[in-house]
Amino acid sequence: MSISKQKLKQLVLGTATGLALSITSIAQASDTIKVGILHSLSGTMAISETTLKDTMLMLIKEQNANGGLLGKQLEPVVVDPASNWPLFAEKARELLSKHKVSAIFGNWTSVSRKSVLPVVEELNGLLFYPVQYEGEESSKNVFYTGAAPNQQAIPAVDYLMNEIGVKRWVLAGTDYVYPRTTNKILEAYLKGKGVADKDIMINYTPFGHSDWQSIVSDIKKFGSTGVKTAVVSTINGDANVPFYKELGNQGISAEDIPVVAFSVGEEELSGIDTKPLVGHLAAWNYFMSVDSEANEEFITAWKSFIKDNKRVTNDPMEAHYIGFNMWVKAVEKAGTTDPEAVQEAIIGVAVPNLTGGLSAMMPNHHVTKPVLIGEIQEDGQFEVVWETSGLVAGDAWSDFLPDSKDIISDWRAPLACGNYNVKTSKCSGQNYE
């Protein structure tokens, strides 16, 4: 209380003018190519997104060490949208119009992507989105390097049905658009395969749900009819730990009722005591345990960059790896970072992925990837038990939903539409006329 009011007053005024000056000051024009990184570093999503920010910083550092891009150095611009969805839009605008970045790598949740979408479309930016998502979208300005439902959910269900002989299904998810869509697609798919209504149980829980006693007990009852039952889990992030703990404690092992998850990767497992989880499954396009040279290099580089020998890698990191390299290649191909040119150049660009193959950017702005199914091991890693024979191309509009099965996406001329209805021959959404 002893600080004099006068001094405080001066301090406040001083800071205010300082800040006010800085808003108008134009970022110094230098000879670098700016890359925006739009991942939450605080708030609820920091848990997942901070790693992706670090991944991008590593990739940019490596690229710079190898001579940069078009003879210039890359300069990362990191902002924190703080897990606040409107702030994502604001920060995207800041990156594009104030910092003039050439591309944005970012977002995790669907809602944050939906929030940013109008901004990147308006300002004609480039956004590389690295997380598995629900599909039903294809924007001229967004490149979806994570899995579409047909690159994760459908193969996983096929595996359970054909290899494990599962006949009863629990579709459990967090109540938001990704699980809703995935479950809708899966429900249609399962019914198409002759699964009866009574053999499908659908359950939604709120974000961060922590008391799973009743639901796990219901699943246990649902699964004790003598018919092989499995849980397809689209449970998000934080809710997983209490969910798996409850499964273990109520004595449901992977042999009784296997759980296949689409949002549980190595990083999530590093926060869980994995002993009771051995044998539960996850479907991804990449596992840290994959045996390939590229992967080994990537892991070594990551561990030395983050200065932690125990840090793990995961699927969205690989998606950024693919997305960043595609962008670099497309810029080199186009000879400029102009978004319009890059959008055109990037279609068809193929770069090595970490599982030993080549991933290519498709005309619908999704990429080709292998689908792997792994079982959780005691050390928190996955052991691959099944994989697709080749690469699967991401499908923006699911063939299993009545409203979207007639819609295709192709951003090449002459169609140049992300939302083209082949029946009515009309383009809606972004290029609506």
Partner 1 sequence: MKMLNVLKADRGGQIFLLLLLLIAVVVPLLNQFTTADNPLHISTYTVALLGKYLAFALLAVAVDLVWGYLGILSLGHGAFFALGGYAMGMYLMRQIGERGVYGDPLLPDFMVFLNWDSLPWFWHGFDMFWFAMLMVMVVPGVLAFVFGWLAFRSRVTGVYLSIITQALTYALMLAFFRNEMGFGGNNGLTDFKDILGFSLQEDSTRIALFVASALALALGYLACRLIVTSRLGRVAVAIRDAEDRTRFTGYKVEHVKLAIFTFSAVLAGIAGALYVPQVGIINPGEFSPLNSIEIVIWVAVGGRATLYGAAAGALMVNYGKTYFTAALPEVWLFALGALFVLVTIFLPKGVIGLFRAKDKQT
Partner 2 sequence: MTITNQIKTVVLLLLLLLVPGTPSFADTSEPKLDQAVELLKGKKFQQKYQAIELLAESASPQAQSILIALLERRLFKLKKTKQLVIAEKQGKTYKIQQAVSLEELGEVKKRALKKISLNNKMRTLIRSALASFDLKNPDREKRLAAVKQILDKADLEKAKIIRPILAQEQDEEIAESMSIIIALSDLSSDDAKQRNSAVTLLSGNIHPSVRNALNQLQQQTDDKALARSIKQALDSIDAKLQFYAVIENLFFGLSLGSVLVLAAIGLAITFGVMGVINMAHGELIMIGAYTTYVIQLLMPDSIGTATLIAIPIAFVVSGLVGIAIERGVIRFLYGRSLETLLATFGISLILQQTVRSIFSPLNRSVETPSWMSGAWEINSALSLTLNRLYIIVFCLLVFAALFYVLKKTALGLQVRAVSQNRAMARAMGVRSEWVDAMTFGLGSGVAGIAGVALSQLTNVGPNLGQSYIIDSFMVVVFGGVGNLWGTLVSGMSLGVANKFLEPWSGAVLAKILVLVFIILFIQKRPKGLFPQKGRAAEG
The verdict on 390 binding partner 1 (CB under 8 A) reads no
The verdict on 87 binding partner 1 (CB under 8 A) reads yes
- Residue 214 CB coordination number (10 Å): 9
Q: In the bound complex, what is the minimum distance in angstroms from residue 77's beta carbon to partner 1?
A: 8
The verdict on 17 binding partner 1 (CB under 8 A) reads no
Using CB under 8 A, which of the segments 14-22, 152-160, 161-169, 315-323 binds partner 1? 14-22
Q: In the bound complex, what is the minimum distance in angstroms from residue 84's beta carbon to partner 1?
A: 7
Distances (CA, A) of 351 to 34, 85, 123, 225, 347: 22, 32, 27, 48, 12
Helix/strand/coil for 80: coil
Q: Which of 9, 193, 221, 275 contacts partner 1 by CB under 8 A?
A: 9
86-94: Cβ within 8 A, 24+ apart: 86/115, 88/38, 88/112, 88/115, 88/116, 89/115, 89/116, 89/118, 89/119, 91/38, 92/36, 92/38, 92/116, 92/119, 92/120, 92/125, 92/127, 93/119, 93/123
Q: Which of 115, 141, 337, 359 contacts partner 1 by CB under 8 A?
A: 115
Q: Quote the DSSP letter at residue 397.
A: S
For partner 1, which is the closer residue by CB, 114 or 329? 114
The verdict on 198 binding partner 1 (CB under 8 A) reads no
Using CB under 8 A, which of the segments 7-15, 245-253, 259-267, 370-378 binds partner 1? 7-15
**d(C-alpha 86, C-alpha 279), whole Å:** 40
Q: Under rule CB under 8 A, which residues in 116-155 are in contact with partner 1?
A: 117-119, 122, 136-137
**d(C-alpha 204, C-alpha 296), whole Å:** 38
The verdict on 318 binding partner 1 (CB under 8 A) reads no
**d(C-alpha 155, C-alpha 297), whole Å:** 28
Helix/strand/coil for 231: strand
Q: Under rule CB under 8 A, which residues in 46-85 are in contact with partner 1?
A: 78-82, 84-85
Applying CB under 8 A, the residues found at the interface with partner 1 are: 1, 3, 5, 8-9, 12, 16, 19, 22-24, 26, 41-42, 78-82, 84-87, 89-91, 93-94, 97-98, 110-111, 114-115, 117-119, 122, 136-137, 175-177, 180-181, 204, 206-207, 403-404, 419, 421, 426, 428-429, 432
